Structure 1
Amino acid sequence: MTTPSSAAPAGPAAPAGPLCTRETITADLEALGVQSGETLLVHSSLSALGWVAGGPVAVVQALLAVLGSGGTLVVPALTGENSDPADWSNPPVVAEWWPVIRAAMPAYDPLITPTTGIGVIPETVRTWPGAVRSDHPQTSFAAIGPRAGEITRGHALDCRFGEHSPLARLEAAGARVLLLGAGFGTCTCFHLAEYRVPDPAAEDVSFAVTTPQGRRWLTVRDTVADSDCFELLGADFERDHPVRRGTVGAATTRLFDLEPAVAYAEQWLTAHGPRRNG
């Protein structure tokens, strides 16, 4: 004979804390050293922060509050699915579908093409009133603030992360990088260094774009972008250079200057054998 338990039935698990608000995130960013008026490239993970009242909107509001009216917020706004299906592996698609996908893929439109694979904070920035976005169909960046147009303008189709991309303009602007709960593996500024090593490897890159003649499936030649070693590269950079570390909510957060990070990455990749032609 069984005896009914007097314990109350288990309910849903409580959300993982800490509880974060726009105000607590703002205070944590200020304590870390984010400054009013600066240009800031942010890589982020909302889930790393804890439970955020207001979600990604509260995070973007906090970032903009700390940067102030003179500061510029920049995020990657990547759209990697606009690519050749022959290269897809997660998941792959059967070869018979490839020509259909190439013909049907919607052309990149900076106003409506959503970001994918990089979390909800960049998508929130992309759709923020006044945000502008660069023109690359795979590796665009979105920005809010007085330098947004300068940073995003002229993103060449054959230069995902190089001298004709927002990364080079961020370098020239003296930007800093904020890893907000994200690791060095997401640190796009290291890709700029890949373009500066001797004889970098190149590959064909395909996507759907809008041209004066209408939609077109275009293939260009560009430098290989490979972030597999970025966590190790970042650990060495952090060992050898000043990186401000702190927490925002529960998220481990790093803040550092972009220009020395790119210079260090160029030396590191050259010494450690990046992918090169031949």
Structure 2
Amino acid sequence: MTTATRQRSLIAELRALGLAVGDVVLVHCSLRSVGRIIGGAAALACALRAAVGPGGTLVVPAQTPDNSVSSDAYRAATDGMTDEERRAYEERMPGFDVRRTPSYGVGAFAEYVRRRPGAIRSGHPQTSFSAWGRRARELMRVHDLDSHLGERSPLAALERANAKTLLLGVGYESCTALHLAEYRLRRPPMVRPYRCYELDHGHRVRREFRAPHLDAAPFTRIGLSLDDQPFTRKGTIGQAPARLLPVRAMVRFAVGWMDRNPAR
């Protein structure tokens, strides 16, 4: 039988990994992989806040791909439907409400942080983030519709803030910061149409825009090389393997890797 991890042990493990007072940290987490924690998601969130201190900030993905007809989530949900059934499904899709719409597919820990009093969510109806801590409002302030994970998104703000990213029980395929590198390639990704829905003063409205087509397929291979870089810290939090990387160095490395491997 596995021994449950206590909050003070989590704090010690996070600090041993390299998380410091004042840090801004973007967390991708599989709570199940961490194992049994006394206090669950709340204890882990409090441990992270304690590790970065009152001047630090915790950031999580709060994405809602189920709100977009151009997402894998929508394609999976409507697979096998007739055109008429697909149209009816789209009509039932609720509009994104930045305060109330649950995140989708990013895990129980991220959703717990999103719901904390004082947490600030960015306004993108498909790829939002939530931040909790001193710099939350500053980091979430800009998230343009046609910049999912690009230069006018919280990812660029995190890079400017010298943020770190923590991969806790998940692999590099979950590392959203690597998408920022795609916007900076010598041959940037193709642009394609998107469509999603949000609430505007209580009314459901359709948002259509064009933005880069992003592809996480090479991230696992990039991660194999990132694991060998001196700026990558590796350890264990609870029962989960953990990696801590500076966003700026990681993105710079990924741009070079993808430019050298254009076929990917």
Give the alignment's TM-score, normalised by structure 1. Answer: 0.88
Residue 86 of structure 1: CA displacement?
A: 8.5
Structure 2 match to 1:181: 169
| Counterpart-to-counterpart distance in 2, 1:38 and 1:240 | 20
Question: Which of 63, 76, 101 pairs up with 1:90?
Answer: 76
Equivalent AA in structure 2 for residue 242 of structure 1: F
Residue 213 of structure 1: CA displacement?
A: 9.1
Distance 1:207 1:22, change over 3 A: same
| Counterpart-to-counterpart distance in 1, 2:91 and 2:161 | 39
Asked if 1:147 corresponds to 2:135, the answer is yes
Residues 224-233 or 92-101, more deviating: 92-101
| Counterpart-to-counterpart distance in 2, 1:50 and 1:77 | 22
Runs of 5+ consecutive residues of structure 1 not aligned to the other structure: 1-13
| Counterpart-to-counterpart distance in 1, 2:168 and 2:135 | 21
Structure 1 match to 2:148: 160
- In our comparison, the structure showing a higher alpha carbon Rg is 1
| Counterpart-to-counterpart distance in 1, 2:165 and 2:202 | 38
Deviations 1:35-56 (A, max 9, x none): 0111111111111111112111
Structure 1 match to 2:233: 244
Structure 1 match to 2:106: 118
Secondary structure of the corresponding residue to residue 254 of structure 1: strand
Q: Give yes or no for contact 1:103–1:217 (8 Å, CA) kept in 2.
A: no
- Residues 1-278 of structure 1 aligned to structure 2 (within 5 Å): 17-84=2-69, 88-93=74-79, 94=81, 95-197=83-185, 198-211=187-200, 214-273=203-262
Structure 2 match to 1:4: none
| Counterpart-to-counterpart distance in 1, 2:107 and 2:202 | 34
Q: Give yes or no for contact 2:78–2:86 (8 Å, CA) kept in 1.
A: no
Distance 1:199 1:181, change over 3 A: closer
Equivalent AA in structure 2 for residue 255 of structure 1: L
Identity %: 39
Distance 1:213 1:120, change over 3 A: closer
Give the alignment's TM-score, normalised by structure 2. Answer: 0.93
Q: Could you say what the CA RMSD is over the residues aligned between the two structures, in angstroms?
A: 1.8
Secondary structure of the corresponding residue to residue 43 of structure 1: strand
